[in-house]
Copies of this chain bind each other. A is one copy, B any other.
Amino acid sequence: MSEFKNVTVVKNANVYFEGKVTSRTVLFADGSKKTLGVMLPGEYEFGTSVAEEMEVLAGKVEILLPGESEWKLFDGEGSFFVPANAKFKLKVHSVFDYCCSYLAG
């Protein structure tokens, strides 16, 4: 079972879309940050400030990356990058468990 060791976890959840999207913030010794989150089925749009790597831990989800016209399907695995200051869309088909890494600017 994959784990993050020697980290700091912020106790309170981050809550979006009336709780259909929630995450917890994990802080690493090197100053980097990730969030571990869950999205329930639905359609969402998010904006980035810094670049993000999204890793699919579980769930079936389609992603529309900025500047693209074709949705990409992920089924339980894989990852994708979103540039800084960009918007991306998701169609979540089954409970989407993810790890989002915030990439330093």
Contact = CB atoms under 8 A, between A and B. Distances in A.
A27 B2 CA distance: 13
Interface string A81-105: 0000000000000010101000000
Contacts of A15: 38, 58, 95, 97
Interface residues of A, number: 30
A57 B12 contact: yes
A32 B95 CA distance: 28
**So how many copies of this chain end up in the complex?**
2
B7 A19 contact: no
A15 to B, nearest CB: 6
Nearest to A36: B24
5 contacts: A7-B7, A7-B8, A13-B58, A15-B95, A40-B40
